[in-house]
Amino acid sequence: MTARAPSGRLRGSTVTAIVFGGLLLLAAGLGAVSLIGADTAGRRDRAAALVAELALSDLALFTEARYTRNPALADLHTPFQDGPASLEHFPTASLIVAPRGLPAGRLEAREE
């Protein structure tokens, strides 16, 4: 017997078997992932101990420029250290969002 109807299309039972087989594979994959990731608390504790032992700072997001490595530690003027009108030559700087405390559109200078 063939899985194709006389018109050349797949039979309904074949399509149903394919769909349920795909769903079964998806469920098995999700079950395996949940079993593998079951020890997240222990892994998190081991990672925290390693970070404390190595005295690591915040996460380094990118490796190109010092102001893209860790935006929390960057100065606001470092992208323009070559000149205030210089173009950005690191592509990862376009992926970083400006800090929330920055006024939208312009910076104001204050005298103290």
Residue pLDDT, tens place only, 80-92: 666 666 666 777 7
Q: Would residue 6 count as lying in a domain?
A: no
Q: b/e for 85-95, b at 16 or more Cβ within 10 A?
A: eeeeeeeebee
Q: Would residue 110 count as lying in a domain?
A: no
Q: Would residue 103 count as lying in a domain?
A: no
Q: Would residue 5 count as lying in a domain?
A: no
Q: Would residue 38 count as lying in a domain?
A: yes
**Domain ranges, residue 85:** 66-95
Number of domains the chain is built from: 2
Q: What percent of the chain has pLDDT over 70?
A: 57
How many Å apart are CA 81 and CA 99, to the nearest integer? 18
Report pLDDT for 77. Answer: 66
Question: Is residue 18 domain-shared with residue 46, that is, in the same domain?
Answer: yes
Question: Is residue 49 domain-shared with residue 77, that is, in the same domain?
Answer: no
- For the residues 21-35, what does the mean pLDDT come to? 92
- For the residues 50-61, what does the mean pLDDT come to? 78
Model pTM score: 0.33
